[in-house]
A and B are shown apart, each in its own frame.
Chain A
């Protein structure tokens, strides 16, 4: 790869961004290399940005796609139990839009019992026997809110700051801003489990208008972790190395001839592909882990499961991957059928996540990684305190409609306060009454913990400086340690 290095050195004399990266001693990762393409048009966040000291260097975002019910897991509402079965008061319905509720629905009490746990006395439902043991290590935020109440737009809003297609995703912004700490793995990796892909689709990890090197790379649980990872028969690693050197040699000459920076990006991608062929199988080899770890997470190598993905997330975080995005789908408990009901599919999902997410927290903590790893758990919105009545008729199974006014997420690590609950909802969990956090506030706060000023991480596109947080977002100082 000598020619390639020389070329980069040559480029770097002209490119302040490269220069900065060297000064900043960030890894020469894919992100850094990728930025060479079209760099003239980049508004350089690193230079604009007086970075504050980072509390976290990695994010593991556990997105429960489909939106779990906060009222069955964390936001305990005894009054709602008393109102169970009574018609919803008009005041809650006037001028409101719901995805499916029509007419006047009935209130629906919590379907499971709650208790307080840990020194913090945090409320947790009976469905989370493992998680209740670690409540003192997490921060509950109970009054998140979003304007979006359909899955696709709300998921996009959570991960791109906009409900419509085309904006860069959170992970893309972060790798664009910070680069990767491991040049042999993508800086932004996506792991999907549960029932098929999330509603927002591939755009949830797309790079939007940012250069494409910043898009998330999906790792599969079966077969090649990344498609086409294995070489054809007879192509040894050594032969492949020679081949890629030859490709990049000729490409370097072509670059001299036509001067298209896209060629440099392509060379970087071939180098990266070659490295990934080594590092990806190694990083994703869960069977390397000792038995006690498998027991702790409830993992079984080779399966497509949230547990496997949690363990894999820890392994990737250990290797310096910047942004690890998990999706676990199947939480959409409307009550329209058994799969989508609180006593059916929902219970199964809770059982699938309780042990592994708890294990992830414990595991990161015991390895000393929790200090600089942010773990975030939650859906794209919450669920209504009313039972859903699709078409005005109460659904056959117990379920709740989409609800953006107030929902719970939990977080830990990366310099956040733990063992506290921030924000509160009203007596039935309909609206936040204190400590409300908008999605853009959440994004601003998480970026802050990574040492990034959300107002300064910008990219100039279509005549405007775009941000993850659009023109909004306030750092929630009260939850910072």
Chain B
């Protein structure tokens, strides 16, 4: 009893002292309070569980009377707030949180101060639209070449960093080329370094037909593109590449991103859609189809629809919507019901886990199309003339039927009278039906009348939508800098990372959503001094900012799986540079397809088709191309926003021993050997051909020593021409240098 009084006394004293000494500054809910609630309280008092009738998800629910009658939070009165009583409780049976450490003194005083100031909730930063009036800070420095730099420099200075000098022009050319088209500089560009402005260079690269290939590679991870249906048998899809071509073309033609969105999500609902717009809807036919005997088609149709919902929200909204499939979001203000309102939007298509992926769109090549039409007309004419018995008519019909189109799975709306009702799945169980819901979008992200997929797509690209533009500019930024302004590309919710440069992100988003011009966005980024900095890392910066969050140096990141392959082939002069077309099967080690179902054979492509860019590689979900996986490609079963870069011995073995890289090295060596001049000249040629700059003298020495050693050691080998072999060894070393497989 006495202890109790002492405690109360202390509490009063602390409260009084606290009030006296609380500084006047306002507590920042998002920065100070939400992290405490998320980490310590929300797992029991959030969206999933509301123990004791308490949820901290929204202010209203947190202020309501508890089951006990007490109030967790009484604005203005920390002393009357049960929350404070319980976190300060010393009896372990009563203290909150019940497990783990008690809140720190600092956390407790923050909560008190916040309650005292009225316990206001703030909307999570990413759920309100960016401020369209945002201006870059005024920064008077030579570093500031465009608004991006002003934002970056302001933050850099605040953190005590200074910008790095501009990288040299050959480095920048290689960086630009790899970033914008995923290939080393094309022929002729380097020659123009002296007479073109940087902007002319950028414009030229942006106009390359390889631009679309590079950015399609990013998009295909999001679209979970594959050439197979997935699940256990994983049968082949022979026509999905038509969708890939659509993506490449859209990027090449700089289709505005809003149109890009409308066509992929709702192309079939556009007025009188063109074939191309229907092809675009194959985006959501990249879901898996389960062809296994005994499976319930409805179960896997539902799985595909769930995936479409989750993917749409991850790609365009950067929210972890799949959490809401089973219950209200534990941390973000999205209700369980709202998930199924979005589900209802996607629940009205004719596909139903059909083994042949029906419905499919028949597509003819232009020549086939002409021929098909002509034959059709001839047949009609013959019919009208009543001439339908002769051999000539038969052959017309025969020829007509022989023109077999490509059939691409597409989205197709169910007729209105067969539309499906959408119930809530209780706890995510597709057989446990709750209330029926109508189509809609989550209120927290901006409520609107949304009745079908096309409406949904329009809602996404409405400038009022708080997330789409932010999420997208962040994706492009990450591709260039190796790390997003919001590091968690896939999660802009309260559990994701806050942005490193909030104002810059918003400024870019506002710019982007004004015209949805992808090339302009990329141009803005690469025209900045920020982008053009040298990637040298100062010691003190390495300690304070190892991941370059504050952008005081240029990006230095390992190339992607596709880029590593494409670059080696391009350097060797082997790359087949045709754009567009069906998937191909390049060299693959024996036996890789042995452990999976035999629904097709791996038949290595020939006549140069084995040297197409990586993005055309045939993608079977249960057995993705091994060298791509070694360099961190996802398996494409589900949408993946971020490839986590790794650095492993297996990668070394790929670039040393994979037949693709061996062939590239051998071919590079033959180019080097044909150069007039001494060994050093030949080595310098090969090095420059690969890296775009001349080697340091000591590197030439390392390589010529290697040449001589190999020459001696291969003298005794059979079936080896020592000079060739020595040069091939040198070329392989060049193709394995860190500088080569890294963009710097």
Residues of A within 8 A of B (CB): 30, 34, 37-38, 40-41, 97, 102, 186, 196-197, 201-202, 207, 209, 211-213, 215, 217, 220, 222-224, 226-236, 238-240, 242-243, 246-247, 249-251, 253-254, 257-263, 265-267, 269-270, 272-273, 276-277, 304, 336-337, 391, 462-464, 471-472
A260's partner among B293, B535, B590, B635 (CB-CB below 8 A) is B535
Q: How far is the CA of A462 from the CA of B498 in the complex (A)?
A: 10
Q: How far is the CA of A54 from the CA of B720 in the complex (A)?
A: 53
Judging by beta carbons under 8 Å apart, are B648 and A215 in contact?
Answer: yes
Judging by beta carbons under 8 Å apart, are A233 and B649 in contact?
Answer: no
Judging by beta carbons under 8 Å apart, are A227 and B589 in contact?
Answer: yes
Determine how close the nearest CB of chain B comes to the CB of A60; give it in whole angstroms: 22
Determine how close the nearest CB of chain B comes to the CB of A205; give it in whole angstroms: 12
Given contacts A196-B596, A260-B535, contact A250 B646 (CB under 8 A): no
Given contacts A222-B591, A234-B714, A464-B39, contact A266 B647 (CB under 8 A): yes
Which A residues touch B556, using CB under 8 A?
Answer: 258, 260, 262
Judging by beta carbons under 8 Å apart, are A227 and B653 in contact?
Answer: yes
Judging by beta carbons under 8 Å apart, are B539 and A304 in contact?
Answer: no
Which A residues touch B537, using CB under 8 A?
Answer: 258-260
Interface residues in B646-668 (C-beta closer than 8 Å to A): 646-654, 656-659, 662
Determine how close the nearest CB of chain B comes to the CB of A404; give it in whole angstroms: 15
Which B residues touch A240, using CB under 8 A?
Answer: 656
Judging by beta carbons under 8 Å apart, are B645 and A212 in contact?
Answer: yes
Q: Which 3 A-B pairs have the closest CB atoms?
A: A212-B646, A273-B652, A273-B649
Judging by beta carbons under 8 Å apart, are B647 and A262 in contact?
Answer: yes
B649's partner among A224, A269, A471 (CB-CB below 8 A) is A269
Nearest B residue to A240 via CB reads B656
Q: Is B719's beta carbon under 8 Å from chain A?
A: yes
Which A residues touch B719, using CB under 8 A?
Answer: 233-234
How many residues of B sit at the interface, in one of the four size bands? Answer: 35 or more
Which B residues touch A267, using CB under 8 A?
Answer: 738
Judging by beta carbons under 8 Å apart, are A232 and B657 in contact?
Answer: yes
Contact mask B288-301 → A, CB, 8 Å, 1/0?
00000110100000
Q: A272-B649, A273-B650 are in contact. List 18 more A-B contacts (CB 8 A).
A: A41-B546, A102-B431, A186-B649, A212-B646, A227-B630, A227-B650, A228-B627, A231-B657, A242-B709, A242-B713, A243-B736, A249-B699, A251-B737, A259-B539, A262-B647, A277-B653, A304-B595, A462-B487
Judging by beta carbons under 8 Å apart, are A243 and B706 in contact?
Answer: yes
Judging by beta carbons under 8 Å apart, are B650 and A40 in contact?
Answer: no
Q: How far is the CA of A273 from the CA of B296 in the complex (A)?
A: 46
Stretch at the interface among B185-193, B602-610, B725-733: B725-733
Given contacts A228-B658, A260-B535, contact A253 B696 (CB under 8 A): yes
Q: How far is the CA of A211 from the CA of B648 in the complex (A)?
A: 10
Determine how close the nearest CB of chain B comes to the CB of A83; give it in whole angstroms: 26
Determine how close the nearest CB of chain A comes to the CB of B652; give it in whole angstroms: 4
Judging by beta carbons under 8 Å apart, are A253 and B698 in contact?
Answer: yes
Given contacts A40-B546, A243-B729, A253-B696, contact A269 B647 (CB under 8 A): yes
Judging by beta carbons under 8 Å apart, are A242 and B706 in contact?
Answer: yes
Nearest A residue to B709 via CB reads A242
Determine how close the nearest CB of chain B comes to the CB of A86; give it in whole angstroms: 24
Q: Is B622's beta carbon under 8 Å from chain A?
A: yes
Judging by beta carbons under 8 Å apart, are B99 and A471 in contact?
Answer: yes
29 A-B pairs (CB sep. < 8 Å): A97-B429, A213-B648, A215-B648, A220-B591, A227-B589, A228-B626, A228-B650, A228-B657, A228-B658, A234-B714, A239-B713, A239-B714, A242-B706, A242-B713, A242-B729, A246-B702, A246-B705, A251-B738, A253-B696, A259-B537, A260-B556, A260-B742, A267-B738, A269-B651, A272-B649, A273-B649, A273-B656, A304-B595, A464-B39
Determine how close the nearest CB of chain A comes to the CB of B742; give it in whole angstroms: 8
Residues of B within 8 A of A (CB): 35, 39, 99-100, 232, 293-294, 296, 427, 429, 431, 487-488, 497, 535-539, 542-543, 546-547, 556, 558, 589-592, 594-596, 622, 626-627, 629-630, 635, 637, 644-654, 656-659, 662, 696, 698-699, 702-703, 705-706, 709-710, 713-714, 717, 719-720, 725, 729, 732-733, 736-739, 742, 744
Q: How far is the CA of A223 from the CA of B659 in the complex (A)?
A: 15
Judging by beta carbons under 8 Å apart, are B657 and A243 in contact?
Answer: no
Q: How far is the CA of A227 from the CA of B630 in the complex (A)?
A: 10
Nearest B residue to A462 via CB reads B497
Q: How far is the CA of A233 from the CA of B721 in the complex (A)?
A: 12
Determine how close the nearest CB of chain B comes to the CB of A281; give it in whole angstroms: 13
Judging by beta carbons under 8 Å apart, are B535 and A258 in contact?
Answer: yes
Judging by beta carbons under 8 Å apart, are A270 and B652 in contact?
Answer: yes
Which A residues touch B705, using CB under 8 A?
Answer: 246
Which A residues touch B595, using CB under 8 A?
Answer: 196, 304
Determine how close the nearest CB of chain A comes to the CB of B641; give it in whole angstroms: 11
Judging by beta carbons under 8 Å apart, are B558 and A262 in contact?
Answer: yes
Nearest A residue to B495 via CB reads A462
Judging by beta carbons under 8 Å apart, are A226 and B650 in contact?
Answer: yes
Judging by beta carbons under 8 Å apart, are A196 and B294 in contact?
Answer: no
Q: How far is the CA of A258 from the CA of B548 in the complex (A)?
A: 14
Which A residues touch B535, using CB under 8 A?
Answer: 258, 260
Determine how close the nearest CB of chain B comes to the CB of A232; give it in whole angstroms: 5
Given contacts A227-B626, A462-B497, contact A254 B657 (CB under 8 A): no
Judging by beta carbons under 8 Å apart, are B427 and A212 in contact?
Answer: no
Q: How far is the CA of A201 from the CA of B231 in the complex (A)?
A: 12
Given contacts A224-B589, A229-B653, A272-B649, contact A253 B699 (CB under 8 A): yes
Q: Which of B497, B626, B630, B738: most chain A Cβ within 10 A?
A: B738
Nearest B residue to A257 via CB reads B536
Q: Which of A38, A240, A262: most chain B Cβ within 10 A?
A: A262
B737's partner among A207, A224, A254 (CB-CB below 8 A) is A254
Q: How far is the CA of A58 from the CA of B591 in the complex (A)?
A: 31
Nearest A residue to B638 via CB reads A165
Nearest B residue to A209 via CB reads B644
Nearest A residue to B663 via CB reads A232
Given contacts A229-B657, A239-B714, A250-B699, contact A265 B647 (CB under 8 A): yes
Q: Which of B630, B656, B706, B737: most chain A Cβ within 10 A?
A: B656
Judging by beta carbons under 8 Å apart, are A223 and B591 in contact?
Answer: yes
Determine how close the nearest CB of chain B comes to the CB of A303; give it in whole angstroms: 12
Which A residues touch B429, using CB under 8 A?
Answer: 97
Determine how close the nearest CB of chain B comes to the CB of A258; give it in whole angstroms: 5
Given contacts A232-B662, A260-B535, contact A246 B591 (CB under 8 A): no
Which B residues touch A247, using CB under 8 A?
Answer: 733, 736-737
Judging by beta carbons under 8 Å apart, are A263 and B738 in contact?
Answer: yes
Determine how close the nearest CB of chain A comes to the CB of B164; give it in whole angstroms: 11
Q: How far is the CA of A472 from the CA of B487 in the complex (A)?
A: 27
Q: How far is the CA of A220 from the CA of B590 in the complex (A)?
A: 12
Which A residues touch B536, using CB under 8 A?
Answer: 257-259
Given contacts A196-B622, A238-B713, A242-B709, contact A230 B539 (CB under 8 A): no
Judging by beta carbons under 8 Å apart, are A269 and B296 in contact?
Answer: no
Q: How far is the CA of A232 from the CA of B728 in the complex (A)?
A: 11
Determine how close the nearest CB of chain B comes to the CB of A474; give it in whole angstroms: 11
Q: How far is the CA of A303 from the CA of B742 in the complex (A)?
A: 39
Judging by beta carbons under 8 Å apart, are B647 and A336 in contact?
Answer: no
Which A residues touch B739, using CB under 8 A?
Answer: 250-251, 254
Q: How far is the CA of A40 from the CA of B543 in the complex (A)?
A: 6
Which A residues touch B651, using CB under 8 A?
Answer: 269
Q: How far is the CA of A226 from the CA of B592 in the complex (A)?
A: 11
Which B residues touch A224, using CB under 8 A?
Answer: 589
Judging by beta carbons under 8 Å apart, are B733 and A234 in contact?
Answer: no
Determine how close the nearest CB of chain A comes to the CB of B604; give it in whole angstroms: 16
Judging by beta carbons under 8 Å apart, are B647 and A97 in contact?
Answer: no
Nearest A residue to B622 via CB reads A196
Determine how close the nearest CB of chain A comes to the CB of B683; give it in whole angstroms: 11
Q: How far is the CA of A470 from the CA of B627 in the complex (A)?
A: 33
Determine how close the nearest CB of chain B comes to the CB of A11; give it in whole angstroms: 12
Which B residues touch A273, using CB under 8 A?
Answer: 649-650, 652-653, 656
Which A residues touch B627, using CB under 8 A?
Answer: 228
Q: How far is the CA of A41 from the CA of B592 in the complex (A)?
A: 37
Which B residues touch A213, using CB under 8 A?
Answer: 647-648
Determine how close the nearest CB of chain B comes to the CB of A187; give it in whole angstroms: 12
